[in-house]
Amino acid sequence: MKKVITISAALLSVVTLTACGSKSTSSKEKDHSSTTKIIQKANNTEEAILKYNEIKLGSENKKGKGGTTEKVVKAYYGDPNSTQKSTLEGTTDKTTIYTWNSVGKAKNGLKMSAEFLDGKAISKSYANNNKSPKISTKTLNEIKKNDTYTKAKNKLGVPIGESDVKSDIGSIKTLRYSTGKKEVLMSFTNNKLLFKKTAAE
| pLDDT in the model for residue 105 | 62
Q: Which of the given ranges, 100-104, 127-131, 167-171, 197-201, has the highest pLDDT on average?
A: 127-131
pLDDT tens per residue across span 92-141: 999 999 999 888 665 556 899 999 999 999 999 999 888 888 999 899 98
Q: What is the pLDDT of residues 42-80, one digit of tens each?
A: 778 888 899 999 999 998 888 899 999 999 999 999 999
Buried b (16+ CB within 10 A) or exposed e, 92-123: ebebbbbbbeebbebeeebbbbbbbbbbbbbb
Give pLDDT, residue 150: 94
- Is the pLDDT score of 12 beyond 50? no
Residue 156, classed as helix, strand or coil, is helix
> Residue 83 burial (CB < 10 Å; 0-12/13-18/19+)?
exposed
Sorting pLDDT into bands at 50, 70 and 90, what band is 180?
A: confident
What is 2-200's CATH topology?
A: Beta-lactamase Inhibitory Protein; Chain:B, domain 1 (3.30.1450)
Determine the pLDDT at residue 6.
46
For residue 29, pLDDT beyond 50: no
- According to the model, what pLDDT value does residue 188 have? 96
Q: Which among 17, 161, 32 has a CA at the least distance from the CA of 82? A: 17
Backbone φ and ψ for 72, nearest 5 degrees, come out as -70, -45
Average pLDDT over residues 79-100: 92
| Section 11-26 average pLDDT | 44
Average pLDDT, the chain: 81
